[in-house]
A and B are shown apart, each in its own frame.
Chain A
Amino acid sequence: MRASSRCVKFACVRAFLLVGCSLSQSMRTESGMVYFIRRLCADYGSPVSAAFRVLFLVVFISLGVKALSGMNLQALIDTGPNGWGAPVSGDAITDAYFRTVLRTHGSPLAEVPRPSASVQSSLAGIQGKGAILVISPRDDHDFILIPPLLSYLSWPRPVHYQLCGYQEPADSTSPPVKVAAVIFHSLPPPAWMAPGRVMIPSLTLVPVSETAKKWTSYCSP
């Protein structure tokens, strides 16, 4: 790694010197800069410009490799709880998103080997027509993932969300007319509601049959 970065630095210094020497030589005269540009443009076969172009290619490739190696690709080799088959399983992508949520909450991944399937089976058990309402604390950054993930898995049921911790109703989507279930993300259901069912750690489903209440009522303990 250190050797490759030294190589890149060496190549950059050489390129810099090469351009610098050519510039200083050509700028001795009054119209030196113009001449330099014209020469660079016209001199398309001379050894100098050929060397410059080869050097450019080498630096281009070296920087590309260096940038790719800095993109944490080795994390992709980490196979997770399900081994090498995980990235090509039927729910590979949504499982990966749910695992991100589980990781944030410190839940052991091995406890829920197939999070999408668990969530989907819970959603399938919701009775009656009506929307799903997701309640999430405002300061949990995963809230942005949960409603789309649930919406993805719950078609044709609409999914709305409301955020607790802010006093502005603007932090919610337009409230649904009728709610079939409330899902609490990173929050326990309020005491006045039934305890509900844990779909995966950090997501609790409480089936209801009611018209949506004032959104802040779901935030109170």
Chain B
Amino acid sequence: MDFILFSLALLLWLCAGCGAVLLIAPRGRAMSLIEVLSLAVLLGAATISFALFCLGFGLSGLALRSAVTVLCLVLGGAGWARQRRSLIKIAWPSRPSITDYFFLSVLLIQTSFVVWLSLRNTFGWDGLFNWESKAHLACINSGVIPLQYFSDPSRAWSHPEYPLFLPLTQSWFYSWLGSCHQGLIKLIFPPFYLSGLGLLYVSGSRMGGSRLHGWLPAMMLPFVPLAIFRDGSATSGYADFPLAVCYLAAAIYVAEYWRSGASDALRLTACLSALLPWVKQDGTILWLVIAVLIAVKGVARKQLKGPLAAIMPGLLVALSWIVFVRVVKAPFMDAFLPVRPATLWAHLDRWPPVVKAMYSEMADWTHWSLMWPGLLLALPLTRSAERRAQVVALLTAVIAPVILYSWVYVFSSLQYMEHVTSSLSRLLLQVTPVAVLILGLSIPRYRARDSETPTRTQTAKDEHRRNA
């Protein structure tokens, strides 16, 4: 019975998500079914958690669950109606080849392994005490997190100031199950993993021009050990992996915007990047990177209105959450010193050891395999005029957060090296799917028009011409 109720909650999640995707997608845009379902996982969870948060101020228990259920069905129905009017074209997967079957089998085996890991693994510290504990609290309080929790000093260790994307998604399942079932709740993480795989496949094949470019990054993801096991991974109960998938989605569409400048890509970027501050506080930094990428391209294209409108949703979400945290008097940014030039100057000596630690972490193949050095393989892609904009956007989306995160520790109010040791790998994990996408694009042979091999004579001629 529990499993049926769990499946029902999952279906409603997907229904809301599909509806949201079809309503957000610009008119006339062609989307593949895999793309719609992958985005539905992210937008569905965001819709449900946000609805539970907002409606929770006035409703609780059965009334709250019924209201959110109606919202899910209405969204699904509205999206379906829009699609029926042929405003959105959904492309079904075309006839697969033997190679496709091979990769599909590999992915099925990998996904089964991840589901098994999710079930067998126990949530890590943050997974239980920072995220699931809030869902548990909502579960025993008729679906609503009591306001007194946010200002309870004896529970400050559970970070009441963290956003509620994950806890309220978990509490949605608890409300359908009728109890706080810690065993079944582990199963909400495989959909995020599948969403990541779907996005890697869709974006890889779209950017690379062949299905192989899509299959490869999807297949490579589980070979980054930290992506599927240990703290922060897809099976650990942490918010870092869902955040990484949301960031991947936003990065894909911002890269598309960099290539085409199309407003429909901007619209999807706006909605997906707005999820980032709602998933985790670190998401605000990731949102900032996306916002800067939008702004840079907007300025280059002499567009103002579109990029500005695309930045607004994320800004609104981040500010609203900060206001809420202040109003309920939750502890805010306890782990960090005030971000001021004086603090920066006083703790500047921390930066070199942090960078050193970051280098050691990236070079640790037991955590990342060859992912970080492998990014060098993407450099040749920047020579292709067709791909340059996209690859530069994606590389920036990987490198910029890493640089920003190295500066974040300068403001740590804890023992900063302990802070680095305990959280660095998780921060790097947040950009891992984007890095894997770049790797997947780099490996297969690319038949670009401008990829001819220069001989030494040609190189010399080029240099001569440039000097002249």
Question: A and B: real partners?
Answer: yes
CB-based contact A40/B367 at 8 Å: no
User: B383: CB under 8 A from chain A?
Assistant: yes
How near does chain B come to A99, taking the closest CB pair, in angstroms?
Answer: 9
Q: Is the CB of A156 within 8 A of B146?
A: yes
User: Is A1's CB within 8 Å of the partner chain B?
Assistant: no
- Nearest-CB residue, chain B, relative to A91: B182
In angstroms, Cα B219 to Cα A11, docked, is: 20
Residues of A158-186 whose CB lies within 8 A of B:
158-160, 173-174, 176
Within 8 Å by CB of B128, from A60, A93, A176, lies A93
By the criterion CB–CB under 8 Å, are A87 and B442 in contact? no
Contact (Cβ within 8 A) A53 B120? no
Across the interface, do B229 and A73 meet the contact criterion of CB distance under 8 Å? yes
Residue pair A90, B222 in contact (C-beta under 8 Å): no
Write the B318-360 contact mask toward A (1 if CB under 8 angstroms, else 0). 0000000000000000000000000000000000000000000
CB-defined A-B contacts under 8 Å, sample of 17: A40-B380, A41-B380, A43-B380, A45-B447, A45-B453, A53-B444, A54-B443, A60-B220, A63-B369, A63-B370, A67-B365, A76-B121, A87-B120, A87-B121, A92-B182, A156-B146, A174-B153
Flag whether A10 is at the interface (Cβ < 8 A). Answer: no
Given known A-B contacts A53-B377, A94-B128, A158 and B157 have beta carbons under 8 A apart: no
Q: Does B66 contact A (CB under 8 A)?
A: no
Give Cα A102–Cα B152 distance, bound, in whole angstroms: 29
* Given A38-B454, A64-B223, A67-B225: A59 and B129 interface contact (C-beta under 8 Å): no
Closest residue of A by beta carbon distance from B371: A60
List, in ascending order, chain A residues with CB within 8 A of B267's CB.
none
Give A167 to B182 CA distance when docked, in angstroms: 39
CB contacts under 8 Å to B, within A22-56, are 35, 38-46, 49-50, 53-54, 56
A94 to B180, CA, bound (A): 12
Which of B131-139, B281-289, B415-423 binds A?
B131-139
Q: How far is the CB of B377 from chain A (nearest CB, A)?
A: 7
**Is A200 an interface position by the 8 A CB rule?**
no
Whether B183 and A38, one on each chain, are in contact in the complex, defined by CB atoms closer than 8 angstroms, is no
Interface string of B431-468 (1 = CB under 8 A from A): 00000000100111111100111101001000000000
Partner of B453, one of A46, A77, A96, A176: A46
Q: Does chain A have a CB within 8 A of B230?
A: yes
Whether B78 is near chain A, meaning CB under 8 Å from some CB there, is no
Q: Report yes or no: B122 in contact with A35, Cβ–Cβ below 8 A.
A: no
Smallest Cβ-Cβ distance to B379: which chain A residue: A41
Partner of A71, one of B149, B223, B230, B444: B230
Chain B residues within 8 Å of A, Cβ to Cβ: 117, 119-123, 127-129, 132-133, 136-137, 140, 146, 148-149, 152-155, 157-158, 179-184, 186, 216, 220, 222-225, 228-230, 237, 365-367, 369-371, 374, 377, 379-380, 383-384, 439, 442-448, 451-454, 456, 459
Chain B interface secondary structure, helix, strand, loop or mixed? helix
Known: A44-B446, A73-B229, A94-B128. A60 touches B154 (CB 8 A): no
Identify the 4 closest CB pairs spanning chains A and B, nearest first: A64-B223, A88-B183, A158-B154, A76-B120
Pair B119/A159 contact, Cβ less than 8 Å: no
Which B residues are in CB contact (< 8 Å) with A49?
380
Cβ contact of B365, chosen from A53, A63, A174, cutoff 8 A:
A63
Q: How far is the CA of A41 from the CA of B381 in the complex (A)?
A: 8
* Residues A67-89 near B (CB distance < 8 A): 67-68, 70-71, 73, 76-77, 87-89
Contact A38 B459 (CB under 8 A): yes
CB of A42 within 8 A of CB of B370, answer no
Interface size class of A (residues with CB under 8 A): 35 or more
Question: What residues on A are CB-neighbors of B380 within 8 Å?
Answer: 40-44, 49
Across the interface, A160 reaches (CB within 8 A) one of B122, B154, B366, B456, namely: B154
Q: Are A90 and B220 neighbours in the complex by a CB distance under 8 Å?
A: no
Which of B140, B446, B453 has a CB less than 8 Å from the CB of A155? Answer: B140
Establish whether residues A60 and B120, one from each chain, have CB atoms under 8 Å apart when the complex forms.
Answer: no
- Whether, in the assembled complex, A208 has its beta carbon less than 8 Å from a beta carbon of chain B, the answer is no
Docked pose: A157 CA to B228 CA in angstroms: 36
In Å, the complex CA distance between A152 and B137 comes to 8
Say whether A61 faces chain B, with CB atoms less than 8 Å apart.
yes
Closest B residue by C-beta to A60? B370
Interface contacts beyond A39-B453, A41-B383: sample of 5 additional A-B pairs, CB < 8 Å, sorted by A: A44-B383, A50-B445, A53-B442, A87-B186, A147-B157
On whether the beta carbons of B129 and A152 are closer than 8 Å, the reply is yes
Q: How far is the CB of B363 from chain A (nearest CB, A)?
A: 12
CA of A76 to CA of B447 in the docked complex: distance in angstroms?
45
Taking CB atoms, residues of chain A closer than 8 Å to B133 are 148, 152
**Residue of B224, B446, B447, B448 touching A64 (CB-CB under 8 A):** B224
